[in-house]
Amino acid sequence: MPNTALSHLNQLLKEFHLAGKQLAEYLNVDYSLVSKWRSEKRRLNPEYTHKIAKLFVALDAKYEYKRIENLLNRKFTEKEKQKEDALVTLLEFWLASKNPESERNSIENFMSRRAVKSEYYIFSGEDGRRDAVDAFLDYVAGSSGNNLWLFSQEDNRWFSESEEYQLRWQDKNFDVLSNNNTIHVIHPVDRRYRQVAQSMFRWLPIHLVGNALAYYIPKYWDPEIKITIFLAENMAVLIGVTSEKFTKKIQTYLFTDPEVLQNAREVLMELFHQSLRMFHRYGFESNGEFFSVFKKIVQDPNPVYYFSGAPILYMVSEKHLREALMENDYTEKEKREYEFTLYQCSFEYMRNVSSMPITYIIHEKQLRRLLKMNRVMMRFLSHCLGRPFYVSQAVFRKLLVQGLETMCAYDNFNILLTDYSMLYPYEDIALFVKEREVAGFVGTHYETEKGACALITEEPSVVASLFYSCTNFVKSHPHRNMSKQESRDFILEMIEKSRSI
């Protein structure tokens, strides 16, 4: 249906894609007169109305008068189409009629020919944002070999307040990555860099498993107007805009128009050019590079946080690590090659090079699961060696107990036993962070090698954010006043109970 807010002559020219100058040439009149007709400052006289109607009926004949039907909002019978004079008369009446006064000030009257009208979808509120993101990810998951570029400055409460939605969102991202797509995401930065850690924690399972690359913009800025842009190249873009004062009144727009997609891409490329990669991703094949960075944990006295359910490296003796080595199906040559690496992961090595404070955050739920397994793959140690390193349940418990005893014997070591994950709702991730130096993550599906990888960052702002998050977690934890001896005794009791199950 035509837009009746335009003058009828304007609608006619627009429908046939003709300019006013072309009509002026045909009628042999000055262009300014046509402009006055179009703006309705002058009325068409009967002579020119007839000429114009006759011209456009003739132009539309080969299209069976479809465009005139559209303008008049009616369907012609086959009999009517045979009477050209009658069609000219109908078009004359339509051209001579005037739009209601209330419609003359429509925005359409002021649009240039360069303006392009585009369709889009609007989603309101936090539920709307979740629906928009669901639709976006479901749509993109059907593509292959695509790039997604994501940036957001918003507080993302629409995302973080629902555990159920976080897990659903995670699965949808896995679907996108499983079809050979790549995700590039800029994690937001606030004044104290807390937001980097919070955003990264939510994305960790995706960064650990799929081809999802993380960035951040080191230069901090805090605009009052916050934007979100999620772009799937050549497919769709989500755009959200909120204000600090109205964070709950979020609106989300989904576009598929190619020009809008290209404009969004240009904006995002400028942001990504200002960004730095947050971490490097290591598989077993990159063990040499991984280990050279991992060893920085013990190379100076800065404090360390270690979050896991597994025995902490550097808290167990070289002797016990060598015993564990014998349980693996390595050749004698490989075992000799690995012995020096094991020494560099032992308590003896650490005591020779440093005496830094370590807080061992033991995740109770993760530990209970490990105590039920016949054998356990030591993830961090596997990445140091470059191949899976397994220990039997008996050796696992021996390493765990020795680590606890070591930590209880020295004042610069501390233990925090926690029944919930600082990475909640994700339960199978371990991390370490050394103040001002380095931080790393590893997926801890201990019973399988599938998808095993580690993430390491030495970016100062990212390390600072992660260290702050760990410090805040420990200082605000309900068990913060529980002594390490009490934590050790509780875990020893867990071990005894697990033997009887």
pLDDT of residue 193: 55
Residue 2 in domain: no
Tokens of 4: 């009746």
Beta-carbon neighbour count of residue 493 at 10 Å?
A: 10
pLDDT of residue 101: 44
DSSP string, 286-297: GHHHHHHHHGGG
Domain stops at, among 71, 88, 110: 110
CA distances from 8 to 4, 29, 110, 236, 366 (A): 7, 19, 15, 35, 73
Residues 292 and 441 grouped into a single domain: yes
Give Cβ neighbours of residue 486 (< 8 Å, ≥ 6 apart): none
**CATH at residue 140:** 3.30.870.10
Chunk the chain into consecutive blocks of 10 residues (it has 501) and report each block's average pLDDT, rounded to whole numbers. 62 88 90 85 84 91 88 83 85 73 56 72 87 93 93 75 83 92 86 67 82 86 82 94 71 91 95 92 89 87 88 85 88 90 90 82 88 87 89 91 92 90 74 93 63 84 89 90 92 85 59
Tokens of 276: 């730095």
CA 48 to chain CA mean position, Å? 60
CA–CA gap between residue 175 and residue 238 (Å, rounded)? 18
Residues 87 and 137 grouped into a single domain: no
List the strands of the sheet with 236-243, edge to edge. 120-124, 251-255, 236-243, 225-232, 147-152, 182-187, 212-216, 276-277
Tokens of 289: 């590079």
Residue 31 in domain: yes
Residue 204 in domain: yes
Residues 289 and 328 grouped into a single domain: yes
The identity of residue 355, as a single letter, is S
Residues 100 and 125 grouped into a single domain: no
pLDDT digits (tens, 9 = 90+) for 402-451: 999 999 999 999 999 998 777 766 667 888 999 999 999 987 554 555 55
pLDDT of residue 4: 43
Residues 341 and 408 grouped into a single domain: yes
Sequence-ordered strand ranges (E) for 385-449 = 390-392, 413-418, 429-434, 438-443
Residue 3 in domain: no
Residues 229 and 290 grouped into a single domain: no
Q: What is the largest CA-CA distance in the chain?
A: 107
Rg for the chain, CA atoms, rounded: 34
Number of domains making up the chain: 3
Residue 143 in domain: yes
pLDDT of residue 310: 78
Domain stops at, among 47, 82, 110: 110
Residues 252 and 307 grouped into a single domain: no
Residues 326 and 228 grouped into a single domain: no
Tokens of 466: 């992660």
CB–CB of 251/124 below 8 Å?
yes
Give Cβ neighbours of residue 29 (< 8 Å, ≥ 6 apart): 48
Q: What 3-state DSSP class applies to 123?
A: strand
Residue 385 in domain: yes
Residue 115 in domain: no
Nearest to 246 by CA among 228, 225, 229, 230: 225
Residues 424 and 328 grouped into a single domain: yes
Q: 158: part of which helix (H) or strand (E)?
A: helix 157-160
Residues 143 and 229 grouped into a single domain: yes
Residue 1 in domain: no
Domain stops at, among 252, 278, 304: 278
Residues 298 and 415 grouped into a single domain: yes
Q: Which domain holds residue 59?
A: 8-110
Residues 255 and 353 grouped into a single domain: no
Nearest to 264 by CA among 237, 241, 301: 237
